[in-house]
Chains A and B, each alone.
Chain A
Amino acid sequence: MKIKGAEMVIRILIEEGVDSVFGYPGGTVLNIYDELYKHSDRIHHYTTCHEQGASHAADAYARVTGKVGVVIATSGPGATNLVTGIANAYLDSSPVVAITGNVACAAIGKDSFQEVDITGVTMPITKHNYIVKDASRLADVLREAFTIARSGRPGPVLVDIPKDIQQADCDYEPKKVTPVTRTCTNGKEAFAEAMKLISECQRPYIYTGGGTVCSNASKELIELAEKIDSPIGSSMMGLSAVSHDNPRFLGMTGMHGKFAASQVMAKADLLIAIGTRFSDRATGNKIEFIKGKKVIHIDIDPSEIGKNIPVFVSLIGDVKAVLKKLVSELPAGNRKDWHKEVESIKNCPDNRLEMPSDTVNPETVIHAVNRHAPKDTVVCTDVGQHQMWTAQYYHFAKPRSFITSGGLGTMGFGMGATMGACIGCGKKKTVLFTSDGSFHMNMNEMATAVSNQLPLVIVLLNNNTLGMVRQWQTLFFDKRYSNTSLERRTDYVKLAEAFGAKGIRVTKLDQLDKAVKDAFAAVGPVLIEAVIDQDEKVLPMIPPGGTIKDIIVKA
């Protein structure tokens, strides 16, 4: 069947099971948008205020659903506006297909209007990218893009389609989607070695990361912990895989992790690292980090093995498949002494850092949301102190319920991401924790949330400063607050109302519960501004490159 290239794009999206896409129209994608118009019964397109918002939406949509997120943008500035979103998806291994238009093939290389070499620009931040210059290749390239995005370690793929290719005749033959096979590829020796290390160890520690979430392996992870009687700690990307109230779960480790999670890890003699890449924010001093312990590293990406931390045994493969095999073959272990030691560390005062319960502060605000949000609520964040407080205090109960910018640390991620997450979870109430700094970066997307009546509960912790940078300036730069005091006069309630949303300001504790309750009862987006102290700190803190011995627990 002969169809135009632009229609081919839509046909392949439908083949791939895509029903929601995010993007922004423009000159070189007019043909694709014309086809979106004709196929609006099959694919819903969400027009954002800026392509960056669309790219974060596609990323978060992918993380919530486990499907591939799709974003469309025009050539030139449309394409370059995607760059931060694509880099964010790359660093956090999120499956996204970005489709960009480009000027006609004959105009490429002439510095034509809105021409940019987007495949060149995105080469280091995509799993792979394409520019399609032969219409007969279009269908295969698009299918391949989806396969690459979701297979192995997921990630973003960009397909750049010049305008004349969208207008060209192509042959369409329907094809079934290639399913992704998830296996473990290890030999018997590696498994035997891993089992031996586990059986022989006295103090095991399961350290889980984003790979466990991505592989839907929460059940297997907990089974492993039960079987070998091990505590569990998590990287930030790994949060939500284990419910906050699981007695084996110690919380997040690393720079702003829970004291017990880091302390128990330091005392362990065997670290079973699962779907994690040992980021510098998670390990601190890498030499001290692994002192006195052996490491088993389970990951789907062989290049992660030994990249940041030398390991004893590596098991390469899909986390779920590897854990299934381990759980079925390992003998049950019982480690009473270790268990006792872990419990005593859990109960020590340094593990119970609490903020005052009688003021509006990050902890009381997040706990108010804990009280009102249904268990399966998806919670997103921007980047900064509020992100760490959310990671520390929010009660995650369901896998894929925490969407945050981990590797890239993108301020401005939140608004776009929360919209994508909300659409991905069937337009249920979705929470965004943000701050005055991050929110100002992409608050334009409030307009998109209002147009689509998305039920977002946006909780903005306003300390009128760039809090995380201020914290570092306080601790490491002698309180020289260079350019972090914002002195903005934004009236968030009026701002929300100007966008057509509801705004609530909370300055006193007795206003808090009602505000959150009202926000959860409202239709459409609601912004709660909670005013907090400028010098509220994220604690504990292990300084960069430090160890558990350097942990700061008091301000």
Chain B
Amino acid sequence: MNPDEFILSMLVNNEAGVLTRVSGLFARRAFNIDSLSVGVTSDPHISRITITARGDDYVKTQIVRQLEKLHDVKIVELMPTTSTVMRELVLIKLNIAQKSRAGLMEAVAVFRAKVVDLNNDSVTLEITGERSKCDAFVEYLRPFGIAELCRTGLTAISRGRKTLKMDAESAQHN
């Protein structure tokens, strides 16, 4: 990760429009979102959003404090990069014929990627990992001609017993 890059995890109400509230706040306060992933948690009323963004300490503090003011945001935390597991999933489609695939399967093995779809004139690969690994894999594949690429954006969870938990009051509120 870049030194000015940071990861925010937040628990939000799983309701229509909440993602707009969060992303709209970034836009109107002139903060950039590098990647965003969202999905429901073990509690169906609560979703978890992971955002990576860039900025100095001022930007970090402002983003957290402004997000905390949103009624639908229950908790926001800056994830320390040293004690956080970070993963991203990438799907890559290469439209190449069987005979030109030499070296490709070797890379799949080395990067511990997976072939998820295969036919005569195309291969679709999946790779999961930290961003640098995904980036390296994508760079390696570029000369083969990438037809299509989708990245999920980073998601993150802390190491050890620590969890992202709402305080009792906001949990009750929900």
Contacts and interface: CB of A to CB of B under 8 A. Distances in A.
Contacts of B72: 128
Interface string B1-34: 0000000000000000100110010001000000
B69 A301 contact: yes
Interface string B52-68: 00000010011001101
A301 B69 CA distance: 9
A303 B21 contact: no
Contact of B71 (A120, A124, A128, A305): A128
Given A306-B58, A306-B61, A123 B69 contact: no
Contacts of A12: none
A302 B20 CA distance: 23
Interface string B100-114: 000000000000000
B76 to A, nearest CB: 12
A33 to B, nearest CB: 28
Given A120-B20, A128-B71, A148-B71, A303 B66 contact: yes
Interface string A111-125: 000000001100110
A150 B19 CA distance: 25
Contacts of A123: 17, 20-21, 24
Contacts of A303: 62, 65-66, 68-69
Select the residue from A303, A305, A307 with max chain B CB neighbours within 10 A.
Answer: A303
B68 A302 contact: yes
Interface in A90-137: 119-120, 123-124, 127-128
Nearest to A155: B69
A124 B28 contact: yes
Interface residues of A, number: 13
Contacts of A120: 17, 20
B62 to A, nearest CB: 6
Interface string A293-333: 00000000111011100000000000000000000000000
A127 B62 contact: no
Contacts of B71: 127-128, 148
A302 B24 CA distance: 20
B62 A307 contact: yes
Nearest to A148: B71
Contacts of B24: 123-124
A301 B20 CA distance: 23
B88 to A, nearest CB: 29
A290 B72 CA distance: 36
Contacts of B70: 128
A149 to B, nearest CB: 11
Contacts of B20: 120, 123
Nearest to B25: A124
Contacts of B62: 303, 306-307
A290 to B, nearest CB: 15
Interface in B64-107: 65-66, 68-72
Contacts of B61: 306
A302 B21 contact: no
A119 B17 CA distance: 9
A149 B62 CA distance: 22
A301 B70 CA distance: 12
B65 A302 contact: yes
A127 B70 CA distance: 7
A527 B33 CA distance: 53
B61 to A, nearest CB: 6
Interface in A123-178: 123-124, 127-128, 148
A128 B17 CA distance: 11
A120 B21 CA distance: 9
A95 B20 CA distance: 24
A301 B21 CA distance: 19
Nearest to B67: A303
A127 B21 CA distance: 11
A305 B69 CA distance: 13
Nearest to A310: B58
Contacts of A301: 69
B73 to A, nearest CB: 11
A303 B61 CA distance: 8
A307 B65 CA distance: 10
A323 B72 CA distance: 31
Nearest to B20: A123
B26 to A, nearest CB: 12
B3 to A, nearest CB: 21
B64 to A, nearest CB: 9
A48 to B, nearest CB: 29
Nearest to B64: A303
A139 to B, nearest CB: 16
A270 to B, nearest CB: 23
A104 to B, nearest CB: 17
Select the residue from B20, B66, B69 with max chain A CB neighbours within 10 A.
Answer: B69
Contacts of A128: 70-72
Contacts of A305: 65
A35 to B, nearest CB: 27
A307 B21 CA distance: 20
A154 to B, nearest CB: 13
Nearest to A152: B69
A179 to B, nearest CB: 16
B24 to A, nearest CB: 6
Nearest to B61: A306
A162 B128 CA distance: 45
Contacts of A307: 62
A286 B69 CA distance: 25
Contacts of B17: 119-120, 123
A109 to B, nearest CB: 12
A35 B55 CA distance: 52
A64 B13 CA distance: 35
21 contacts: A119-B17, A120-B17, A120-B20, A123-B17, A123-B20, A123-B21, A123-B24, A124-B24, A124-B28, A127-B69, A128-B70, A128-B71, A128-B72, A301-B69, A302-B68, A303-B65, A303-B66, A303-B68, A305-B65, A306-B61, A307-B62
The 9 closest A-B pairs by CB, nearest first: A303-B65, A128-B71, A302-B65, A303-B66, A124-B28, A123-B24, A303-B69, A124-B24, A123-B21
Given A119-B17, A302-B68, A305-B65, 9 more contacts: A120-B17, A120-B20, A124-B24, A302-B65, A303-B65, A303-B66, A303-B68, A306-B58, A306-B61
